[in-house]
Amino acid sequence: MIEFLRSLGRWGLNTFQRLGRGHMFLVQMMAGMPSLTFRFSLVIQQLFYVGVLSVLIILISGLFVGMVLGLQGYNTLVDFGAEESLGVLVSLSLVRELGPVVTALLFAGRAGSALTAEIGLMKSTEQLSGMEMMAVDPMKRIIAPRFLAGLISMPLLAAIFSAVGIFGAFLIGHGLLGVDDGAFWSQMQAKTDWYEDILNGVIKSIVFGFVVTWIALFEGYDATPTSEGVGRATTRTVVHSAFAILGLDFVLTALMFGDI
């Protein structure tokens, strides 16, 4: 019993220590951001690895999620004779929820884990210490550009996901199931609001991008410098990101769309 309490206490202390380190890391990372204005090419390079390389998976997943939404939505709506509302159903689900959330989950798996592994390996092969001794601050040179790239990429990826998803639903809804295309678009436009729905979705995706990239970079930077440690850090990135995304999604949804 005592042993159990003791390990519980140790676990608690470790958790808080990591939380504290994570936030100190965030502060240092932010402090490194201004120096990027002079080195924007570093950010562009990272936009390639973080953003461009994630486009394919986002395109494919977006298309299929949209097509499934089209099918399922139609099957439900047609019972109420409301299949004209398919456009609204699809656009609202994608723009408010699925776009930001699914993109963030995919982003954590595709880009987040890669970032963690990369930073963790750089640490374990002493590349980060090596840079420090060459008077190059890894926070500014390595971490900050990746963070900014993640922050920029996420909303763009989420927008691509939603747009492709709506297109996929249109393909199924109009092409396969014969929903009137005028009604599909006009109902969607009437019910989807730029501020309420789309901008809130964009805000969500920026928040998710911030959190996922932060977690990924911190886990890499804080990894035990062994191959096992880096492996575990990569897993933690994906798991913690998923928790953070889903938890934050609830909070943000309640703030934005709930009437609380």
Q: Which of residues 131-170 bind other proteins (CB under 8 A)?
A: 131-137, 141, 152-153, 155-157, 159-160, 162-164, 166
- Residue 84 found at the interface with other proteins (CB under 8 A): yes
- Residue 4 found at the interface with other proteins (CB under 8 A): no
- Residue 189 found at the interface with other proteins (CB under 8 A): yes
Q: Which of residues 190-209 bind other proteins (CB under 8 A)?
A: 190-194, 197-198, 202
Distance between CA atoms of residues 106 and 98, nearest Å: 11
| Biggest distance spanned by C-alpha atoms of the chain | 70
Least Å distance, CB 170 to other proteins, is 10
Nearest one of 199, 212, 201, 202 to 243, comparing CA atoms: 212
- Residue 217 found at the interface with other proteins (CB under 8 A): no
Sort 227 into a burial class: Cβ within 10 Å, 0-12 / 13-18 / 19+: exposed
In order of 36, 138, 148, the CA distances from 145 in angstroms are: 7, 10, 5
- Residue 34 found at the interface with other proteins (CB under 8 A): no
- Residue 67 found at the interface with other proteins (CB under 8 A): no
**Count of residues for the chain?**
260
Instruction: Decide whether 141 or 146 has the Cβ nearer to other proteins.
Output: 141
Write the single-letter amino acid at 73: G
Gyration radius from the chain CA atoms: 21
Q: What are the tokens at 180?
A: 């009137």
Distance between CA atoms of residues 214 and 30, nearest Å: 11
Instruction: Decide whether 141 or 240 has the Cβ nearer to other proteins.
Output: 141
- Residue 38 found at the interface with other proteins (CB under 8 A): no
Least Å distance, CB 117 to other proteins, is 12
Binding site for other proteins (CB under 8 A): 44-45, 47-48, 51-52, 55, 80-82, 84-85, 91, 95, 121-122, 125-127, 129-137, 141, 152-153, 155-157, 159-160, 162-164, 166, 185-194, 197-198, 202
